[in-house]
Amino acid sequence: MANQKTIQSDRYSRIAIITGATSGIGEATARRFITSGYGVVGNGRNAEKLRALEQELGAAFCGIAGDATDSTVLERLFASAIERFGKPADIVVANAGRGLGGSVKDADLSNFEEILKLNVTGTLALLQKAAQKMVDEHQSSYPKRAADIVIIGSVVGRHISPFSAVYGATKFAVHSLAEGLRREVGPKGIRVSLVEPGIVISGFQDGAGYSDEMVQNFEDKFGPLLHGEDVANAIHYIVTQPPHVHISDIMVRPTRQDYP
């Protein structure tokens, strides 16, 4: 087993944990990382999709099914990186989240507590665990090796959206957590980066309750819209910088999206 771990650890240049890896930005990022020679531990609730990704992507992908707000699941992600690849994760992508359409006056709040738990509480738990482990594991290796925590925010976490202001409030909170963590662990050699996508075509729209008419309006007004691969390229750019270079914030919009 020890020899196998040594072979595995030499095989992959970096090891990444990605939440929300079964679709959209998370899945695209997993694929982009694997193409670059990284090992990936991917999390999502869809166990069947994770098994399919394992079969398709091979040994470079390890799927861990479960709720990203569950502390036991989060611990399994970090343990699985070592068990599968023979070394700790040096990239964590906090991507899991859900949308909610509607303004402050009109949004359906029946699912808001669940969204708040996933988007804010769950993200905070992942950031805290990642920071604690990375400071212990990677501080002594800086500046020879990079360690990255990448957080998926949103343009509506910076600009008030007329069609998703309540969801945007959760992203304003996440942006605050990202900057707070950057100031805390950046001096210890851990990079914390925020990626703020504009409108990205994925399963996000269905989960947010956006109508087909609204999505078509986005396409007509702002299209061509972004796809997960476009945001994955930005994430890959962040983590491939030299260890002393920190890209703290990237906003990625469709070219024709003027607002938000």
Band of pLDDT at residue 131, cut at 50, 70 and 90: very high
Q: Is the pLDDT assigned to residue 200 strictly greater than 60?
A: yes
Q: Is the pLDDT assigned to residue 203 strictly greater than 80?
A: no
pLDDT score of 214 = 81
Q: How are strands ordered across the β-sheet holding 39-44?
A: 61-65, 39-44, 15-18, 91-94, 148-152, 191-197, 249-252
What's the whole-number mean pLDDT along residues 228-236? 98
Looking at the chain, the whole-number percentage of residues with pLDDT higher than 90 is 87
Q: pLDDT tens-digit profile of 48-96?
A: 999 999 999 999 999 999 999 999 999 999 999 999 999 999 999 999 9
Indicate the domain borders of the chain.
Answer: 2-252
Q: pLDDT tens-digit profile of 16-31?
A: 999 999 999 999 999 9
pLDDT score of 28 = 98
pLDDT score of 4 = 43
Q: Is the pLDDT assigned to residue 7 strictly greater than 50?
A: no
In whole numbers, what is the pLDDT of the chain averaged over residues?
93
What's the whole-number mean pLDDT along residues 154-170? 94
User: What is the chain written as a DSSP string?
Assistant: -HHHHHHHHHH-S-EEEESSTTSHHHHHHHHHHHHTT-EEEEEES-HHHHHHHHHHHGGGEEEEES-TT-HHHHHHHHHHHHHHHSS--SEEEE-------B-TTT--GGGHHHHHIIIIIIHHHHHHHHHHHHHHHHGGGTTTS--EEEEE--GGGTS--SSBHHHHHHHHHHHHHHHHHHHHHGGGT-EEEEEEE--EESTHHHHHT--HHHHHHHHHHHPSPEEHHHHHHHHHHHHTS-TT----EEEE--TT----
What angle is formed at CA 158 by the lines to CA 102 and CA 206, rounded to 5 degrees? 35
Domain 2-252 is found in CATH 3.40.50.720: yes
